Structure 1
Amino acid sequence: MYSEIHINDHMLLRYGYTDDLFTAFQSLVYEGIELPLLILDAYYYHIRETVDAQLQQPEFLAQQRTNRQVQWMHEYYGRMQHVPETVSDYSLDPKRDAIAFCGQFLDTALKAFPDRKTLILITNSHDQTAVQGKTLPPGFQTFYFQKAYVDEILQFQFCEPVWRQVHDLVAKHKDHPVFGREPFGNWLYAQARDAICLINVGERIIREHPVGLFLDHTELIYPGNVLSLLALKYNLPFVQVQNRLLSDINIIPSRASHYAVYGPHTRNWMVENGIPPAKITPIGSLRFEDIQRGDLKTKQDLLNDLGLSDARWVVAFTTSPYAVEINEQIMRWFSQAGQDLPVLVVIKTHPDDRYPYHEHPDSHIRLMPDGYSLQDLLYASDCAATIVSETALVAAMLEKPLLVLQPSMSYHYILNNNSYPKHLAEAHAGAVVRSADDLRQCLTGLMHDDKTRKRLAVQAKRFLRQSLTIKPPVPSQRLYRLVRNWMRAKWADGE
């Protein structure tokens, strides 16, 4: 599973306090939208210290379980919906024939919707990079959401009625572990201000552009959070399109009209968490649609670019931004393996991983050369290794065996609060490695034993089949068909 469906202690507190926030401050409303629904990401960071401290208090946790009476994630999914009232049915407007989506979906849109009206929302550097240097069709427009949002904040005038309402509500909850802390009122007012500004930008999009459907990959942060709520307000479809491996934070809460997901595994997991099956369609991965096409680097290319002449068993290791001690465990494993076996470990670092891999002294451990993509590295390697990442999917698509690294990991508020890091191990995506001895045995088997290679090949195929919809049509075409079901009446050709 991407994360457990039974509520652990971390979830009990984090989602319990989120439920409290939605209930205690639901009267903070602007343009028909409850403001607390738009501050989740900031709120999760705000309560981090409180949650981490209370996880060390067994008696308090037992009391919380008794008081809250929740056991399963689908219970929190239902309790935290808080949908706005529909005030107008814009779905009936035939002129609303445009699709709005984040910039990261541009390549997909160019394949699936080249002749349609689209609005590309530029919110972050990923969106900006996606559109940079691209020639857009005549019907494609860009909207710089981040700039519009910042402009709204800069122009915002102090609003005494909102400030007073916030502090009056906070005063009613002085005994609450989060709301009762002295700075909470001022913090909440600042968040309410930002939420109001978000709503203004979202309303502007709907007012000034003929959007008939929204696509985004998350509702946790903007623009997806505000657009999913405004979509409900105006009865417009909002489709959440899976773009990464998911965890509970991605769907609790979630109010999308529909979900376009990787494959059967995600669909089943979402259903267990409370999302109706009829709202979920497996389409595959848009990002990996073209992964097996085009020229990729070979093993000899990799060895040449690293200045190595001797043939070795190449392990592609993709990192995760875990704590230093976790990555140190893994590096010790690879270091010991290289002392006994003719292996070369080539590392692709996660953008947020700060471990100093470049300082590692072992000659058989190298960083991925410049100019290589993940696909290049995996294609040029003999096997892949990771804790939990989409490396597993790409490796399976390229028919590379996988080593699932499972170092000992302590609790972390963000990176290890559920069973997500164990996902690949529990999904039997590859050979599970929990020690240096495990790694040595796995590599020895891969290098010298046909049965080991065949067994891991079977596991990889089964994992891929469960995780990704890979049969024709391709994901972009599946997404097109999904969107067409809503837009058929508005598109002149009906197709």
Structure 2
Amino acid sequence: MMNTFERNFWSLYVDFLEAFSEVKYKGISIPYLCHFRSLFTNHHELKQNLSSESFSQQLYQTVQDKKLFQQRFTEFKKMHTNNKVKRKANGKVALYNAANLLRFPIEITKKHFKPEHSFVIRDIRGKTTSPRPITAEGLPAYFLIDYDESIDHHVELIQKQVAGIIEKHKKHPLFGHPTFKEAFNAQVERIAHRIIESTNMIKKLPISCIVFSSTHYYQSRTLAIVAARHNIPTICMQHGIVGSENGYMPKIADVDAVYGHFEVDWFKSIGVADDGVKVIGHPRFDLINKEATITKETLTKKLGLDPKKKNILLIVRGNAYIKHWRKLLDEWDGHDQYNVIIKDFPAQTPHPLTENYDFAVSSKGYHLYTLLPHVDVVVAYLSTVGLEAMIAGKPVFLLSIPAPTYSGYYDRLGQMVQKEPVGLANLVNRYFVSEKFRAKESSKRKKFLAYAYPNVKSSGQRLIELIAEMTKGQGKA
């Protein structure tokens, strides 16, 4: 069952696909390639109305089943897939880091992706980029902008077509808003150029497979569809937990390489075929249980911790939920039992909370994986860090303030997830004093991990095996 927000969101998306389906370039329907949410970034009234029951009365379509939504994109992809095209011999694996979400550590990339068999795809050159750049991982980089052409006249014709369609739908809650036309026209232009860039690059470079960080953005989604036209297999890595479903729908790549069985079951629930999802994990998690890069004594001195106290790592994200975090710390204030290390994301500067509580200190920019070996407990919001900490063998307690599209990812942890900060604080206190409760937490965590991240072999190795399987018979990958 979908809630009101989800039903309205996906129905609005289908309105968009239907109304502009004939807006095409090179035979590809442009709305299917768009980053939909950014088309109404500045339409605040619409974003508020998505949670309203009455909003559905303003829409043309009503989506009652996510399977039917995904099916549209499955059929769209199929329509543009040509398995008869012969790929270039001795093709190489291309890594495309959309929105910097690939997150392959340098040492992992160097281990599994050699320059004779791999390269990196980037969007544009920097002002000081050399003609033949080599990345920090030692891989050659090729830039899509180098394969672009002048298509101004074609873009103008498409945008004129868009204007005509908008004129017919002036009373629509999205299409009739002045910010929509500007946002859509900008994507139309960029997508048209990306179709040209992708086509020309694929024709000139020997590519056996493309590994994406995400196909949620028009830059990568367009490349994935053009790759399908040229019979080039595509893999989309999972860049974080499926916290919000609309960050992972629709599925576009041939195979989504996921963390565990949660994602397999979730993708199946929206109608994705078994062979479209593979449990791979993520190569960056291969580094979680490496030998500590700093001793506990050194970290204690660097952060100014009291060595007699328990270390709690608190994961925050800017000022999000800050009132809840204050209530949590208020519960511990005066206990004189804990060092609370506050790690903010993405900021590296000390979080404001460190100024209000003597026992709270900044993580001083230390990497998560450097901190994890030396903490006793991790407290976080519903983020990927919770999973990472459990992989590191740490007890995790989570504050649950879910978005309307929350997938229920951490529901299997039961009471280890709390809606109120006071309950969260009491749970942590209980963990430190009750051996029985520690055993219960450990059991819950192990069962959760068996489902969420079955760690049979290194993720990097599993990914290489998947690439080999998908490129079999097409030259060395």
TM-score, normalization by structure 1: 0.84
* Kept after mapping to 2: 8 A contact 1:173/1:180: yes
Structure 2 vs 1, CA of residues 478 and 87 (structure 1 numbering), >3 Å: closer, same or farther? closer
Does residue 93 (structure 1) correspond to residue 79 (structure 2)? The answer is no
Identity within the alignment, % = 20
Q: In structure 2, what is the Cα distance between the partners aligned to 1:113 and 1:340?
A: 50
Amino acid of the structure 2 residue aligned with 1:439: L
Deviation at 1:32, TM superposition (A): 2.1
Aligned residue among 56, 61, 72 for 2:65: 72
Deviates more, 1:159-168 or 1:26-35: 159-168
Residues 74 and 319 of structure 1: CA distance in aligned 2, closer, same or farther (over 3 Å): same
Q: How many residues are aligned here?
A: 463
Q: List aligned pairs for 1:163-312, cutoff 5 A.
A: 163-182=159-178, 184-246=180-242, 247-312=244-309
Query: Mean alpha-carbon deviation: is it higher for 301-310 or for 393-402?
Result: 301-310
- Look up the equivalent residue of 1:387 and give its one-letter code: Y
CA contact (8 A) 1:19 1:80 kept: no
Q: Alpha carbons of 1:109 and 1:278: their partners in 2 closer, same or farther (altered >3 Å)?
A: same
Distance 1:283 1:99 in 2: 17
Residue 111 of structure 1 deviates from its aligned partner by: 2.3
Please state how far the C-alpha of 1:191 moved relative to its aligned partner. 2.4
Task: Sort the Cα spacing of 1:453 and 1:215 in 2 relative to 1 into closer, same or farther, 3 A.
Answer: same
Measured after TM superposition, the shift of residue 272 of structure 1 is 0.7
Q: Is 2:158 aligned against 1:162?
A: yes
Q: Which residue of 2 aligns with 1:418?
A: 405
> Does residue 398 of structure 1 match 2:385?
no
In 2: Cα distance, 1:148 partner to 1:338 partner: 58
Q: Give the SS at the match of 2:275.
A: helix
Q: Deviations over 1:218-262 (max 9, x none)?
A: 111144211111122222211112121123223322221112111
Q: In the TM superposition, what is the alpha-carbon distance from 1:35 to its structure 2 partner?
A: 1.5
8 Å contact from structure 2 (residues 350, 364) kept in 1: no
Question: How many Å apart are 1:368 and its aligned residue?
Answer: 0.4
Inter-CA distance 321–304: structure 2 relative to 1 (3 Å threshold): closer
1:45 alignment partner AA: F
**Structure 2 segments unaligned to the other structure (5+ residues):** none
2: CA distance, partners of 1:80 / 1:48: 26
Which stretch shifts more, 101-110 or 353-362?
A: 353-362
How far off its partner does 1:172 sit? 2.4
CA distance in 2, matches of 1:315, 1:292: 19
CA RMSD of aligned residues (A): 3.1
- Aligned residue for 1:119, secondary structure, equals strand
The amino acid that maps onto 2:396 is L
Distance change in 2, residues 1:355/1:330 (3 Å)? farther
Deviation at 1:276, TM superposition (A): 1.0
Contact 1:38–1:195 (CA under 8 A) maintained in structure 2: yes
Q: Deviations over 1:97-142 (max 9, x none)?
A: 11111254474443223265223023499xx9xx987352xxx420
* Distance in 2 separating the partners of 1:116 and 1:436: 52
- Taking a change above 3 Å as real, the CA distance of residues 74 and 267 of structure 1, as seen in their structure-2 partners, is same
Mapped contact 2:349–2:364 kept (Cα < 8 A): no
8 Å contact from structure 1 (residues 430, 460) kept in 2: no
Residues 48-80 of structure 1, C-alpha deviation per residue, up to 9 Å, x if partnerless?
52433424644344x469x64432322211134
In structure 2, relative to structure 1, the CA distance for the partners of 1:460 and 1:88 (3 Å cut) is: closer
Preserved CA contact (<8 Å) 2:94 2:120: yes
The question of 1:12 aligning with 2:11 is answered no
2:460 to 476, 479, 492: 476
Q: In structure 1, the residue corresponding to 2:468 is in which secondary structure?
A: helix
Change (3 A) 1:440 1:21: closer
How far apart are the structure 2 equivalents of 1:256 and 1:7?
Answer: 25
Whole-Å separation in 1 of the counterparts to 2:475 and 2:334: 64
Distance 2:124 2:295 in 1: 34
* Offset of residue 47 of structure 1: 7.1
| CA gap 1:354/1:39 in 2 versus in 1, 3 angstroms | farther
Residue identity opposite 1:144 in structure 2: F
Query: 1:23 offset after TM fit, Å?
Result: 1.3
**One-letter code aligned to 2:121:** L
- Greater mean alpha carbon deviation, residues 243-252 or residues 255-264: 243-252
For residues 111 and 296 of structure 1, do their structure 2 counterparts lie closer, same or farther at Cα, with a shift above 3 Å needed?
Answer: same
Out of 129, 134, 137, the position equivalent to 2:136 is 134
**Change in 2 beyond 3 A, CA 1:348/1:83:** same
Tell whether the 8 Å contact from 2:314 to 2:341 is kept in structure 1 after alignment.
Answer: yes
Cα distance in 2 for partners of 1:307, 1:210 equals 53
1:198 alignment partner, SS class: helix
Q: How far off its partner does 1:282 sit?
A: 0.4
SS of equivalent to 1:240: strand
The one of 446, 452, 456 equivalent to 2:431 is 446
- 1:428 deviates by 0.4
1:83 lines up with 2:77 in the alignment: yes
One-letter code aligned to 1:172: K
2:58·2:172 contact (CA, 8 Å) conserved in 1?
no
Question: Normalized against structure 2, the TM-score is what?
Answer: 0.87
- Provide the rounded CA distance (Å) in 2 between the counterparts of 1:159 and 1:115: 37
Distance 1:251 1:327, change over 3 A: same
Q: Can you list the C-alpha shifts for 1:17-67, whole angstroms capped at 9, x where unaligned?
A: 211111111111112221112322464434752433424644344x469x6
